[in-house]
Amino acid sequence: MSDLAKNNKTIKVKALKEYLKNYPDKTIAEIYLEVLENFDDDELVPDVILYNLGFSIDFLSEGRNES
């Protein structure tokens, strides 16, 4: 696990990229899509990105497995 994703146990880069395609603020979505290009699709998304997008700590640390 990456040190950047200490609380995120579920959300991978590929899933967030899909989510951002329909994100209401297109400017923010474009910025984060560009940032996510620095990570492999199967990596967990860094906590700071998820926090900035409004994901809660409780949701991130539930530890649900993604299929």
pTM, rounded to two decimals: 0.79
State the SS3 of 18-52: HHHCCCCCHHHHHHHHHHHCCCCCCCECCHHHHHH
Q: Are 2 and 43 in contact (CB under 8 A)?
A: yes
Distance of CA 39 to the CA centre of its chain: 10
What ranges do the domains of the chain cover? Answer: 13-56
Q: Look-up: residue for tokens 């860094």?
A: 46
Ordered per-residue pLDDT tens for the chain, 67 residues? 468 888 888 899 999 999 999 999 999 999 999 999 999 999 999 999 999 998 876 655 555 444 4
